[in-house]
Amino acid sequence: MGHLILVRHGEPGLKPEDRLAGWVDVPLSRRGIEEALECAVELERLELDLAFASNLVRTQETLFIILSGQKKTGVIVHEGAGNGRDGGNPGKTDWYSYPEKLGKKLIPIYFTPSLNERYYGKLQGRKKQKIEEKYGAEKLASWRWNFEPGPPEGESLKAVYGRAVPYFEETILPAVKAGKNVLVCAHQSSLRALVKYIEGISDEEIREVRFSTGELAIYSYSEGKLIRENAEMSPETKRNL
């Protein structure tokens, strides 16, 4: 039985409660590193076979820290590369069989812009307090949590869904169906888009779905369905129990 593990990256140096990071490429803070280490401990029971992350460094750092907890070395698979016979098309490669070819201590990892955080347009990297002063708290909340519309000159959640879900269907889900344990390290928006698709959440209800930094969602694949295993509880809530 395959597993799908979704994890939001650890806290970035540009703290999410202060600014809208979006595509601003910032590394993890010290707290973010600790959150990634906590994820590694939580995932000790599941031996990972394959991993994906966005093109932004905060997801990649989180991913490598989690893999280090399993004493595995990530091998980056360049999706444009091929054997020369198929024009470099990764779709013609049985890519999810890589663990057997590489050995148990090596794991193939893919970096893709399809899993990037949403692009915030004019709001990119700006302080939330300043945005609220200009546009109002209600408008900012609508841009951040509603399915659409998006912020000025930026992406809505619907737009993120339009790039993240097709990639998931074509590239990630086949590995889970093949019985692999697959880790996906992504962002608030791209994870909300994937959860909306997986759990069939409506455009209205998705507003209430949030991922804390370092939060995990674990699904098992059984009888043609992805079933959520762990309760919807943030790391902060768990620590305060």
Question: Phi and psi dihedrals of 168, rounded to 5?
Answer: -60, -45
Q: Report the pLDDT averaged over residues 197-203.
A: 96
Q: Report the pLDDT averaged over residues 28-33.
A: 95
What would you report as the CA-atom Rg of the chain, rounded to the nearest whole angstrom?
Answer: 18
Which position among 9, 11, 38, 155 bears the catalytic label? 9
The pLDDT tens digits for 96-150 are: 555 566 677 889 999 999 999 999 999 998 999 999 999 999 999 999 999 999 9
pLDDT of residue 77: 86
47 is catalytic: no
Domain count, the chain: 1
Angle at CA 16, nearest 5°, toward 12 and 18? 120
Which residue range is the domain that position 126 belongs to? 3-239
9 is catalytic: yes
Residue 60 belongs to a domain with what CATH number? 3.40.50.1240
- Residue 188's H or E segment, with its range, is helix 188-199
Instruction: Tokens for 216, please give them.
Output: 């995990």
Show the beta-strand stretches assigned E in the chain: 3-8, 50-53, 73-76, 106-111, 181-186, 216-222, 225-228
Which position among 35, 61, 117, 155 bears the catalytic label? 117
What does pTM read for this prediction? 0.87
DSSP type of residue 117: P
Identify which of 168, 175, 170 has the alpha carbon closest to the alpha carbon of residue 1.
175
pLDDT of residue 79: 66
pLDDT of residue 236: 42
Sheet holding 216-222, edge to edge: 73-76, 106-111, 50-53, 181-186, 3-8, 216-222, 225-228
The pLDDT tens digits for 140-188 are: 999 999 999 999 999 999 999 999 999 999 999 999 999 999 999 999 9
pLDDT of residue 230: 74
**Burial zone of 199 (CB within 10 Å; 0-12 exposed, 13-18 middle, 19+ buried):** middle
What totals of helices (H) and strands (E) does the chain contain, helices first?
9, 7
